[in-house]
Amino acid sequence: MYFSGKEYVKSSGKYQAMLADMKERTEEKLSSWQEDSRLLSGWGHAYFCNEDGGRLLYDPKQPFAHKCSICGKVYRAFLYNSCHVTITRNLTFVEAENSGVLYQLTGETRYAEYIKKVVEYYAAHYEEFPIHAKDKLNCDPAIDAGGAGRIMPQGLNEAIMSIRLVNALELIKDTLSLEWKEQVKEKLFAPIVELLLPQKQKVHNIPVWLNSAIGELGLFFGEETWVKEAVEAPYNLYELLRKGVTESGFWYEGSIHYHFFALEGVLSFLAFAEDYGLPVPEDVERIVFQMLKAPYYYAFDNDIFPNPSDGWPNISLKTYLHLYYMGYHALGEKMVPYIKRIEEKELERPTLPLAETYYFENRIPLERLLFAPDIEEMPKGSVEERISENFEASNCAILRSPVYNVFFKYGHQTESHAHPDKMNVEIMVKGKVLTRDLSNSGYGSKMCNEWHRKLAAHNTCAVDGRTSDISHSGQLMEYTGNQITASAEAYEGVQYTRNLALEGEILKDVFQISMEKEGTMDWFFHLETPVDRQRLTLTKVPLESFREYGADYMREPVEVLTEEGKAVLQNKLAEMTLQLPAGAKLYLVKTYNNPADKMRDTLVVRVWGKEAVILNCLRAL
């Protein structure tokens, strides 16, 4: 059994507060759990405010009223009610896992009986739950099987649900009769596998989870055909890793969030493979180790991640620490130095909106307790020093110096989860954020689709107010440890080249645009710390000037007076000297941050023509 450290957990005082909290949460479920197969689950990405993208507050006692965490607006509609159902069910599955842990630690059979009660209900009523997709209330499986679920809103969620339930059953398997296992297999888990199998038809993060669920169920129930579907059939788990992970060690979708999301699905299966003695190919283990190792060297020196493409804001290595404990279980002691290094950093761990996992005090994950409870007693070991690094196969790089960390995104591998952010930069100055990518809120939010996913929300350039093409990869032109140059076709007939160079306290940023036809070029640079406006001569301009970029998300535009095309601006972190092309105008605009209860200062350089070179010289303060 993979909970091999339970005797240490019981004897150590380290986990007692965590276990008391877990017990309190679980006891409430034991006495109050109920379910109704008539309730339709909804897409979690819709549980966000349309006005500001804020996560709606889940209240188990308010299934028909959903309050925004930022503006306080209350939503009352079936869409949000169905999301509430999904969250409630997710929490049920989390508490089922917790119940399994408590059974292991206490031996009290009532925890095992609760898990069996939950599984028995879903087995008895599974066929009553309507097949549906995240964007359809009714779904014909012959037509819409891709992305379809029953208990949950899509196949992805159905797979994650299955993994949580089989994890819970694994923890109480000594209480399960062969007859009981056969019954729930035939009534619940075999139909789930049947639903999921047609959906794993591409290289994508979702089939990773589908394969992991099918494989884990196969191992638990002794169904060899399911295991083969997971690791041998077309689009199997190992094939997805071999095709979906770049030579730089990152998942191909270009998002650090989806990198870890895919990795979590893989590690879940590897935990079962380890415990059931299923050999894992050596090349797969190497890929998984690289997927765990690469983010450490991708992160800024403060462990916060650059965050291009889809994902959640403000994430760090600490956010995904639970995966490193899972990696320890799958890969062994070589993970220990990375775990200890990540644990050392005093960082807040923002809650991931769609991941109801168990973290005690938002710091200690369940996976530490399960897989590595005594890790602090192991030798610390060491990791290689972080240096500047070009992840060319993933079209990005990070430059490091004692003063600056500069992340540069210069292309795309795929349109999946991509933003129009070619040539985007994120910058840390002496460990503090100068400029960062917003990532996004839930996909169902208007804020996400009208602002977070638009070009103007990124540190790059737009032409004629249009969002740029995301179908072309960028090209590295030159790279050394302190400078990088890359180019990309941003639009048809429009070429961008950006050069970044570190020189002590100075960061030189040169952006060059070359076009076949004349047009309006708008260069954007977003600042987390506001500009000192007292140093500037400012003139108000109409908001209408920025209507192409979503004027709803821009405020208080002013023109900044320049002298012979030069302007010097300053905030608490850096002095920025801008050299503008002839005839260019410089604007300062308030734009929405993420979360949207804060605003950013955004610099906009606007110029007309076929060519332009914009120089931004930053001096750290």
Predicted confidence (pLDDT) per residue in 431-466, tens digit: 999 999 999 999 999 999 999 999 999 999 999 988
Res. 142 pLDDT band, cuts 50 70 90: very low
What is the per-residue pLDDT for 29? 85
- Position 560 in a domain: yes
Two structure tokens written together for 87: 């969250």
Mean pLDDT for the stretch of residues 16-40: 92
Q: Judge whether residue 141 has pLDDT over 60.
A: no
Q: Could you give the angle at which helices 282-298 and 321-331 cross, rounded to 10 degrees?
A: 150
In the chain, % helix, strand, coil (3-state, to 5) comes to: 40, 25, 35
Res. 232 pLDDT band, cuts 50 70 90: very high
Q: Judge whether residue 140 has pLDDT over 70.
A: no
- Position 532 in a domain: yes
Mean pLDDT for the stretch of residues 187-210: 95
- Position 491 in a domain: yes
- Position 517 in a domain: yes
Res. 138 pLDDT band, cuts 50 70 90: low
Residue 619 contacts by C-beta under 8 Å, 6 or more apart in sequence?
A: 505, 506, 574, 575, 576, 577
CA–CA distance, 334 with 79 (Å, rounded to integer): 46
Res. 361 pLDDT band, cuts 50 70 90: confident
- State whether the Cα torsion 573-575-581-582 is positive or negative: positive
Residue 298 contacts by C-beta under 8 Å, 6 or more apart in sequence?
A: 250, 256, 305, 306, 389, 391, 398
Predicted confidence (pLDDT) per residue in 145-189, tens digit: 458 999 999 999 999 999 999 999 999 999 999 999 999 999 999
**CATH number of 518's domain:** 2.70.98.70
Domain containing residue 583 = 389-620
In degrees to the nearest 10, what's the CA dihedral of 358, 360, 365, 367? -70
Q: Judge whether residue 337 has pLDDT over 50.
A: yes
CA–CA distance, 191 with 210 (Å, rounded to integer): 13
- The amino acid occupying position 560 is V
CA–CA distance, 562 with 564 (Å, rounded to integer): 6
- Position 463 in a domain: yes
Predicted confidence (pLDDT) per residue in 570-600, tens digit: 999 999 999 999 999 999 999 999 989 999 9
Res. 28 pLDDT band, cuts 50 70 90: confident
Res. 137 pLDDT band, cuts 50 70 90: low
- Position 1 in a domain: no
Q: What average pLDDT does the structure give for the chain?
A: 94
Mean pLDDT for the stretch of residues 311-323: 94
110 vs 144 pLDDT, higher one? 110
Q: Where are the alpha helices (DSSP H) in 107-204?
A: 109-125, 141-144, 155-171, 178-184, 190-196
What is the per-residue pLDDT for 144? 52
The answer for 504, left when phi > 0, alpha when psi is -120 to 50, beta otherwise, is left
Q: Would you call 60 exposed, middle or buried from its count of C-beta atoms within 10 A (0-12, 13-18, 19+)?
A: exposed
- Position 481 in a domain: yes
Alpha-carbon distances of 596 from 69, 458, 459, rounded to whole Å: 11, 15, 18
Predicted confidence (pLDDT) per residue in 391-434, tens digit: 999 999 999 999 999 999 999 989 999 999 999 999 999 999 99
Mean pLDDT for the stretch of residues 261-285: 96
Number of domains in the chain: 1
Q: What pTM value is reported for the model?
A: 0.96
- Position 234 in a domain: no
Two structure tokens written together for 61: 């006692």
Mean pLDDT lowest among 102-111, 351-360, 551-560, 601-610: 351-360
Res. 134 pLDDT band, cuts 50 70 90: confident
Mean pLDDT for the stretch of residues 50-58: 93
Q: Would you call 138 exposed, middle or buried from its count of C-beta atoms within 10 A (0-12, 13-18, 19+)?
A: exposed
Mean pLDDT for the stretch of residues 188-204: 94
What is the per-residue pLDDT for 139? 61
CA–CA distance, 426 with 65 (Å, rounded to integer): 38
CA–CA distance, 96 with 102 (Å, rounded to integer): 10
Predicted confidence (pLDDT) per residue in 527-544, tens digit: 999 999 998 999 999 988
